Each structure stands twice: as structure tokens, then as C-alpha cells.
């Protein structure tokens, strides 16, 4: 067997860890190719969530009884695990949120409203998910700042030279995704971070698609803030992370006020608690954090280098094979390309493609993928998108290719 083939099939054994993958859809084996929207959950994560509710359910950081102390210990242990997973320097740099969207909104509010002024510039790219666009649009409107967009190469990639052409002395924030949720492009974040810091700007990274698939070392990347979601990396929905450098997080003012984020309150005034509490007002998603901690345990047990190679090999194989089918257009670069393959079949609406594939037991996404400016740049209304993760195999790529060929024949020749 060739080395590339070994890599593609290397993780097929983990499929047994995911109960939902035993399902049949429309009489076919479930081929789940929508992990960029949300990943499936291994039994260890499901069991960990159940165990918490059955044995330790209590509110954290408040009561002194046994259940509350157990819940708090498990909650904070997960914070330590996640800090280690992304190589954060301190556990208190991990702020729990509802997901990538909330994390990015917190940065725009807590950092942007405090430090940006009229005439400042925010540098973005046209490939950004709406979650890494609209908060900056709204910030610019509130303070009178301006958005500047990095020009893309013909294949949708971002180069350091193109970023350098947009970053200047007026730039205060650079906000980029590490991996595009549509094109699968891997952006040169570490190099762009250097450019941002040379002009005194901060760099904010949307890691929703990168943290689940790649080794993430915030120290080596040299970034200032990172946002990501638990549900895209085997964890529960409703839990996410805002990571920031300790000194930057300490400079932020809270944007959510209420319980546990205060140090002292009287009738007229309040002072804030230390990190991370000051940015985690109210009862947190306790079981979500514990479930995410368990998910990081699972990912590290498999090995992030192994997962990264596996997903990239699968994605590039799917890109190559889909590109060879007549009337099929595949978007983004052929390599490096990871996580997702977006495509269209000439004359067939992406929603129709998704419905035919669903009839074959294959789950993909169709639409604008919360990236309408990118759809405009591609000059399409939508795309179909297949996305891969550690539980997928070359057999799933075979099923996808066969189903796309079937879809093309169906709409070309009729049933």
C-alpha cells in the first residue's frame, strides 16, 4: 500500500467510538461529511457529560458543599486541559464563552470599544465567516473606524505580500481565520502576526476550523486573541473559548455583568474580579466545559499530528477526485487544503445536490456557509460543501465521488 493510502485509512478504527455513525440514513450507511458545521461526539464525551449530571451536578465557584466543590474542581481542570491543548501560558487566559461567535463579539466590544477611535483601520479578508466580519463592521460603525480587505490570489489564498499591502500605521486590528470554512485554505497567520505587531496592531484569529484539525500553539503563532468552538472539535454545543494574552485580557473591561464577575459591589459602584471570572459573568456552561475537556483528552490520545495529516490527506484526495469529474467545479487551492471541499455541479443548485446525496446517506452542507462576501468573490450564489474529520476514511471519499457522479447523471439525463 502506498504511503498516502496508509495515511488516508489510518484512522478508520476510531469510527467505532462514535455511536451515531452506526446509523443508517435512507437505507444507507451514514457518511457524515458536515463536520465543519458540527462534529460528531465520541462515547467518552457523551459518557463524561452523563457522569457529571448523575454524580456531581452543582453550580460552580459559589457553594462550599461537596457537590459544588466537585463541580468546581472538574470545571477548572477542564480549563487547564484546554490551556495545555493550545499551549496557553496560563489557565486564566482561557475564557469560556458560548462559541467562536460570542468570543469574537466580546473582543470587538471589550477591546475595540475601549481602544479604537475614528480613523483607525481594521484589516480583514473576503473569506471570513460572518462571525469574523459583522462584529468588526459594527465596531467600525460605532467608533468611526474603517475596514480594509486583503486582496485574494486567484485560488482564494492569502499571501504575506497581500497582507503587507493592507497593514499600515493606521491598522489597529487584524482579524483573520486560520482556515477558511469554505475554501479550506490555510492562512500564514504567524507571518501576518509579525506584520501586525510591527505597526502596533493586535491580531485576532478565528480558529473555529483550525483548532479541531491542526496543532495550535498560540505562543509560536505569536497572536493576541484566539476564538474557537467546542462543538467542532468533538465537544458539546454551546461552549467555546476566548483565549487572549494575559496582559491584554487584564486590560479589557467586562461586557457581561452579573454574578461572580465582581470583586465588590455597593449601591453605586462595582469593581471586577480577577481573570478569568471578570469575563465570565453568570452561571457558565459547566457541563459544556467539562465535556470539552474530555474532548481534548480524546484528541490528544489520538494525536493532533496524526489527525492533521489524516484530514489533509482525505481533503486533498477528495479535491483531486472531484476535480476530475466533468461539470464539477471545486473551489480553493489543491494544496495545502484541509478540512473542507466546496464544489458545484454545472446547472444543479447546491441544495439539490445535498438532497440527492442525503438520499444516499451522505450528509453535506449546501448554501453560502455564512460567508456571503466570499460567495460574491467566487461569483456564485452558494456551494455544496463536504467536510472531513478524524472519523472519515477513504471509503467515505469513494461514496462521495460515486454520489456526485450519480447526481450529475440524474440531472443531465433524468431518473
Among the listed residues 105, 116, 173, 182, the one whose alpha carbon sits nearest the alpha carbon of residue 377:
182
Quote the CA–CA distance of 145 and 316 in Å, as a whole number. 39
Helices 350-359 & 394-413 angle (0-180, nearest 10): 120
Q: What are phi and psi of 341, to 5 degrees?
A: -130, 115
The DSSP bridge partners found for residue 329 are: 344
Quote the CA–CA distance of 335 and 315 in Å, as a whole number. 9
Extract the runs of DSSP E, i.e. beta strands, from 20-107.
24-25, 28-29, 31-32, 94-97
Residue 207, C-alpha cell as written in the block = 480558529
Please check whether residue 174 is in contact with residue 204, taking contact to mean a CB–CB distance below 8 angstroms.
yes
Handedness of CA 329, 186, 120, 140 (dihedral sign): positive
Marked catalytic residue, from 215, 370, 395, 406: 370
Q: Give yes or no: 370 in active site.
A: yes
> What is each CA distance from 294 to 45, 289, 305, in whole angstroms?
6, 9, 18
Owner of C-alpha cell 489597529: 172
Quote the CA–CA distance of 335 and 261 in Å, as a whole number. 45
Q: What are phi and psi of 233, to 5 degrees?
A: -130, 40
Cis omega before residue 75 (within 30°)? no
Catalytic center residues: 370
Amino acid at each position: 500500500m502506498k504511503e498516502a493510502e496508509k495515511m488516508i485509512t489510518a484512522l478508520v478504527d476510531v469510527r467505532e467510538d462514535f455511536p451515531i455513525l452506526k446509523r443508517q440514513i435512507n437505507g444507507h450507511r451514514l457518511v457524515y461529511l458536515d463536520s465543519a458545521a458540527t462534529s460528531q461526539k465520541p462515547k467518552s464525551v457523551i459518557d463524561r457529560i452523563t457522569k457529571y449530571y448523575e454524580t456531581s451536578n452543582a453550580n460552580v465557584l459559589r457553594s462550599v458543599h461537596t457537590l459544588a466543590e466537585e463541580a468546581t474542581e472538574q470545571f477548572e481542570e477542564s480549563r487547564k486541559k484546554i490551556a495545555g491543548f493550545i499551549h496557553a501560558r496560563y489557565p486564566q487566559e482561557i475564557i469560556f464563552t458560548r462559541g467562536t461567535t460570542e468570543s469574537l463579539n466580546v473582543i470587538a466590544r471589550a477591546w475595540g470599544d475601549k481602544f479604537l477611535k475614528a480613523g483607525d483601520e481594521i484589516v480583514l479578508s473576503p473569506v471570513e465567516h460572518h462571525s469574523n466580519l459583522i462584529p468588526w463592521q459594527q465596531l467600525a460603525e460605532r467608533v468611526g473606524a474603517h475596514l480594509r480587505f486583503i486582496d485574494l490570489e486567484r485560488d482564494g489564498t492569502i499571501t504575506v505580500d497581500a497582507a503587507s499591502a493592507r497593514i499600515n500605521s493606521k491598522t489597529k486590528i487584524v482579524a483573520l481565520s486560520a482556515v477558511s470554512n469554505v475554501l479550506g485554505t490555510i492562512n500564514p497567520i504567524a507571518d501576518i502576526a509579525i506584520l501586525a505587531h510591527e505597526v502596533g496592531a493586535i491580531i485576532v484569529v478565528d480558529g473555529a476550523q483550525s483548532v479541531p484539525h491542526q496543532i495550535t500553539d498560540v505562543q509560536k503563532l505569536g497572536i493576541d486573541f484566539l476564538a474557537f468552538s467546542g462543538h467542532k472539535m468533538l465537544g458539546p454545543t454551546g461552549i467555546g473559548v476566548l483565549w487572549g494574552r494575559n496582559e491584554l485580557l487584564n486590560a479589557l473591561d467586562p461586557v457581561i455583568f452579573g454574578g461572580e464577575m465582581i470583586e465588590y459591589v455597593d449601591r453605586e459602584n462595582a469593581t471586577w474580579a480577577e481573570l478569568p471570572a471578570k469575563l465570565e459573568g453568570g452561571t457558565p456552561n459547566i457541563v459544556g466545559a467539562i465535556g470539552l475537556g474530555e474532548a481534548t483528552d480524546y484528541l490528544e490520545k489520538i494525536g493532533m499530528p496524526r489527525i492533521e495529516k489524516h484530514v489533509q490527506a482525505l481533503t486533498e484526495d477528495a479535491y483531486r477526485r472531484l476535480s476530475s469529474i466533468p461539470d464539477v467545479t471545486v473551489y480553493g487551492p489543491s494544496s495545502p487544503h484541509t478540512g473542507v471541499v466546496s464544489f458545484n455541479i454545472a446547472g444543479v443548485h447546491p441544495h439539490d445536490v445535498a438532497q440527492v446525496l442525503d438520499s444516499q446517506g451522505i450528509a453535506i452542507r449546501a448554501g453560502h456557509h455564512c460567508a456571503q462576501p466570499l460567495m460574491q468573490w467566487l461569483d456564485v450564489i452558494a456551494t455544496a460543501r463536504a467536510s472531513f474529520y478524524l472519523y472519515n476514511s477513504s471509503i467515505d471519499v469513494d461514496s462521495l465521488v460515486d454520489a456526485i457522479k450519480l447526481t450529475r447523471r440524474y440531472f443531465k439525463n433524468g431518473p
